[in-house]
Structure 1
């Protein structure tokens, strides 16, 4: 006869402890022995709706041919619970003539088919969706889901809401074991900085350091809302302020945050380690061949025995790089070596100059309307020229000042093994056409209407065309203008104006009419880019 014995989780985990208690109550004999291990002949999985039987067996670590025991059953239960996919796990054994059949009876958590946010008024749903983990299709294990709320708390804290609370609700589970997860948010109020104090500062006062921070405790046109990212940036600003006054080791080592009972206000205390004051020692340079010592020295801002200021040091590096970049040495490497003795900083700049680079090609990209030649004629560097960083910056400025672009960014690509480069000007075009209309009234002109149309980049050729039309019973005019800033491909401006104007003066009983045309000529002043002399 087949005997079936039900083994529940409580039996497996409490068996050892229960035996001690039974020994006290039943002094007449020893506790009952656990069933002897038997070979597993089959493992049946019941209740798994979306997880395969083989996967369940692997998690339970129970397979035909293994020995089945109390310990094996307990380990299987723990293993299945640890997956986070099951709300209930039961293990049954059924004795067979040649071994034991193991039955794993499971109840899966429902899967999430939709996530809905409620209560969020100050943070948009899109921001919440981006911060919340992608849980669609995942098992709705509440113990796991509660941990997933932390990114939402972090998001709210970044925006200053430290009292935010969130909890989970779920709607009715459908027949497919799918559910809607509802995340309800209690946003609370923004955290305000009540006080900002410092400890460890002797060189600069609290007011000096507070003045370097964007975070404030409120005041005229200043908000006291606590913003963590801004506050972190403020800590770095304080350290930079110290380093720029010779305290190279200064840092904000810790921050104490004491919250008010309602967590709506916080007292901030920043702990500062100032360190010693550093001064400038010897400044040397080596391996400069392209420029003589005088040219290099003219770019160095550090003076011996002065306070060692980090800003002077960084600006010196920029100036030395610029010296070389303006003459084509874009592959220059400057290796500064600092030597510190007794709080005196000596610096040696070592140059690896390389060879100058030339411009092989100049290309314009992302211009949908504006023609290449309109942009290229504003360039100060051309194919074959030696690379110059300052001329590229001037070209970037001149193109931007055309008024056709939101942004102009130079990019560089290696062109050949000689180190030459292709210069790519990447532009972002903007709307250049304008249209306006309206009505007006005055005692002299009565009711008038107007229409104005202007295009500063006509046909993408950089030409300017405009129409102004005003109409009414006492005043009418129409003006038409056209400007070609590069006539026949030269830096000569040619413009034509046509006009027809009529006005009736009601008070003096006279009228006037004027028709005509005007021609404008201009030429760029040599050495400038946007200055012209003209004649009309």
Structure 2
């Protein structure tokens, strides 16, 4: 009995101390406090968001490891240590430095501003070695794009007080990697020389310092492939493909030899052109005759696109904006022929919700908006978006213009996002030369085409030569009171020595002009000129010259009509323009006459615009009103106006 009681007592005692020990151990395994040390800029609350364990939880190795990873992933710290001090979880961190300044040394081909635009780190951002290495790789890639394949970038880190660093990228740009040769394999119908003219990349020549297209650039090589594809598709080779484009570095590593392997395929002619209309109400009868795509002609992707544009315009004029023209091309089996069907489908009805403009830091929004052929609330028509792109680009205010249709989430509505990259619009010109008609000459000019970002133009010009001295200043507001009406004014003084006719004519005047659109391509202009003239005969002058000696006052009212379908006003390669100008003198002043001048210009490209044929014709007539036409108001030919004849 005593033995049994003693055994039970011993078991109870052992059980009590065992449970008590477990309770004490459990209390010691529970986190009662989390302490963070070493942080200077980053708040405790921010670090705690990355901690995967809470007060009251047991110490868990897996959760502690996860906490370390989370804190490291924040990018704020270069070192993280987690330890246990009794029931306290201690987190010690070492913050990454803050970037104080970034600079570049040794860069000449790419300026500092361009490099700043490319890198992603900035002053006051967090420094990490991984970020710096990314920037080194990025700059090396930039240099390779401009042909400098042996460029090297060494980042130098300068430690500053208060946990800050300066970063200096020491750059060795290396030598330009030139293009030694460009060859083609598989071309049977076009020579290597002809295809070299198509692509953007150029072989390095002695004069290549004037261009940047003789440097190896993988992105440019992709553009070359696309240019080749467009060229062949425009010449009937519908099956054309670029099999490969390889750039082989020469043994001396001084340049690349580029080889394009191509498959030309067959040349196709068009057997039949048809229109399939699936939109009720649209009339496509007799439309084929108006399209540039004809049976029997060589298949051309450009001609197909022109036909789509022309057909779209015709249908738009009928009042159907929500259509899309889809080309269907079908090869005729065992023949080098293609059938082209233009299918007119109904398009989804989408309207413009908002027009958003980005990138115009200097140019005002209204300058861009007034050149859009679409407004908020209008039906979205791809043809009008394309035309808007052309008109804005022709302003010559922007290096790049991009218009994108962006869905809004609201059914039936999309935004139009316009992104532009501005370019300098101010011009300062100074030049000199020699002309067989004018002798030695000097030109000086100042011009701003986008004055104060309002799209206005101001200019000051001066010219001095052996026979002419001219000074002029002008101003043009292209959208007077935000209407599609331009208003401009010029003042000028012009002294011209008509040596052959033995007199000098001095003209000083003021002109006011306005121009407005009657349609997309037809414009009308009106203007007024008030001009004083002083004719000074020289020894040996004819009696008609002497009869006009002295000062006269000219007051003329002008109007003009211009129809312009040129592809480019400054450098036309295709299209035509016609103008008619009528002047009436006699509203005040000493002279009374009517003058009419007609001009016509026509340009035809040949051999893919390698050669441009141009024809210019001018015709004019002037009739006096109860008086003879004086010498200074007559038409003059010769010299620059009529080749092969001396100046009149």
- TM-score norm. by structure 1 comes to 0.63
Structure 1 residues 55 and 495, CA gap change in structure 2 (3 angstroms): closer
Query: For the residues of structure 2 that align with 1:55 and 1:456, how far apart are their CA atoms?
Result: 59
Structure 1 residues 427 and 308, CA gap change in structure 2 (3 angstroms): farther
Question: Is residue 132 from structure 1 mapped to residue 124 from structure 2 by the alignment?
Answer: no
Q: Deviations over 1:360-382 (max 9, x none)?
A: xxxxx9899xxx9xxxxxxxxxx
Q: Which of 244, 256, 260 pairs up with 2:246?
A: 256
Query: For the residues of structure 2 that align with 1:134 and 1:462, how far apart are their CA atoms?
Result: 48
Query: For the residues of structure 2 that align with 1:60 and 1:491, how far apart are their CA atoms?
Result: 74
Answer whether contact 2:458 2:474 (CA < 8 A) is retained: no
Residue matched to 1:29: none
Residue matched to 2:103: 116
Answer whether contact 1:195 1:268 (CA < 8 A) is retained: yes
Structure 1 residues 218 and 437, CA gap change in structure 2 (3 angstroms): closer
Q: Which of 474, 481, 505 pairs up with 2:509?
A: 481
Question: Is residue 187 from structure 1 mapped to residue 173 from structure 2 by the alignment?
Answer: yes
Residue matched to 2:133: 146
Question: Is residue 296 from structure 1 mapped to residue 281 from structure 2 by the alignment?
Answer: no
Question: Is residue 498 from structure 1 mapped to residue 532 from structure 2 by the alignment?
Answer: yes
Answer whether contact 1:456 1:464 (CA < 8 A) is retained: yes
- Aligned pairs for 1:70-219 within 5 A: 70-95=61-86, 100-175=87-162, 177-199=163-185, 204=190, 206-219=192-205
Q: Which of 246, 267, 275 pairs up with 1:285?
A: 275
Q: Which of 411, 414, 429 pairs up with 2:456?
A: 429
Answer whether contact 1:494 1:519 (CA < 8 A) is retained: no
How far did residue 47 of structure 1 move?
0.7
Answer whether contact 2:282 2:318 (CA < 8 A) is retained: no
Residue matched to 2:35: 44
Q: Deviations over 1:10-54 (max 9, x none)?
A: xxxxxxxxxxxxxxxxxxxxxxxxx99922222211112222334
Query: For the residues of structure 2 that align with 1:451 and 1:523, how far apart are their CA atoms?
Result: 23
Residue matched to 2:50: 59
SS at match of 2:455: strand
Question: Is residue 348 from structure 1 mapped to residue 341 from structure 2 by the alignment?
Answer: yes
Q: Which of 517, 527, 531 pairs up with 2:581?
A: 531
- Aligned pairs for 1:233-252 within 5 A: 233-252=223-242
Answer whether contact 1:113 1:137 (CA < 8 A) is retained: yes
Structure 1 residues 520 and 57, CA gap change in structure 2 (3 angstroms): closer
Query: For the residues of structure 2 that align with 1:53 and 1:259, how far apart are their CA atoms?
Result: 55
Structure 1 residues 309 and 190, CA gap change in structure 2 (3 angstroms): same
Query: For the residues of structure 2 that align with 1:407 and 1:103, how far apart are their CA atoms?
Result: 61
Residue matched to 1:9: none
SS at match of 2:39: coil
SS at match of 1:160: coil
Query: For the residues of structure 1 that align with 2:69 and 2:61, how far apart are their CA atoms?
Result: 12
How far did residue 238 of structure 1 move?
0.8
Query: For the residues of structure 2 that align with 1:54 and 1:427, how far apart are their CA atoms?
Result: 50
Answer whether contact 1:450 1:469 (CA < 8 A) is retained: yes
Q: Deviations over 1:267-305 (max 9, x none)?
A: 32334354565553443223497666434234152425x
Structure 1 residues 312 and 46, CA gap change in structure 2 (3 angstroms): same
Structure 1 residues 142 and 526, CA gap change in structure 2 (3 angstroms): closer
- Aligned pairs for 1:445-524 within 5 A: 452-455=471-474, 462-467=488-493, 479-483=507-511, 495-499=529-533, 515-519=550-554, 521=556
Structure 1 residues 205 and 521, CA gap change in structure 2 (3 angstroms): closer
Query: For the residues of structure 1 that align with 2:156 and 2:31, how far apart are their CA atoms?
Result: 42
Answer whether contact 1:163 1:263 (CA < 8 A) is retained: no
Query: For the residues of structure 1 that align with 2:532 and 2:79, how far apart are their CA atoms?
Result: 88
How far did residue 142 of structure 1 move?
0.8
- Kindly tell me the number of residue pairs found equivalent between the two proteins: 423
Structure 1 residues 186 and 296, CA gap change in structure 2 (3 angstroms): same
Higher relative contact order (CA 8 A, sep 6+): 1
How far did residue 253 of structure 1 move?
4.6
How far did residue 462 of structure 1 move?
4.1
Q: Deviations over 1:173-217 (max 9, x none)?
A: 212x12212222221122212233345556655444334223122
CA RMSD of aligned residues (A): 4.9
Answer whether contact 1:452 1:467 (CA < 8 A) is retained: yes
Answer whether contact 1:476 1:503 (CA < 8 A) is retained: yes
Q: Deviations over 1:220-275 (max 9, x none)?
A: 74563224443322110111122223333433354333334675422323343545
- TM-score norm. by structure 2 comes to 0.54
* Greater mean alpha carbon deviation, residues 124-133 or residues 517-526: 517-526
Residue matched to 1:382: none
Q: Please, which runs of 5 or more residues in structure 2 have no aligned partner?
A: 1-24, 348-362, 371-382, 404-452, 481-485, 497-502, 515-523, 540-547, 563-577, 583-594, 596-621, 630-648
* Greater mean alpha carbon deviation, residues 513-522 or residues 51-60: 513-522
Query: For the residues of structure 2 that align with 1:216 and 1:437, how far apart are their CA atoms?
Result: 38
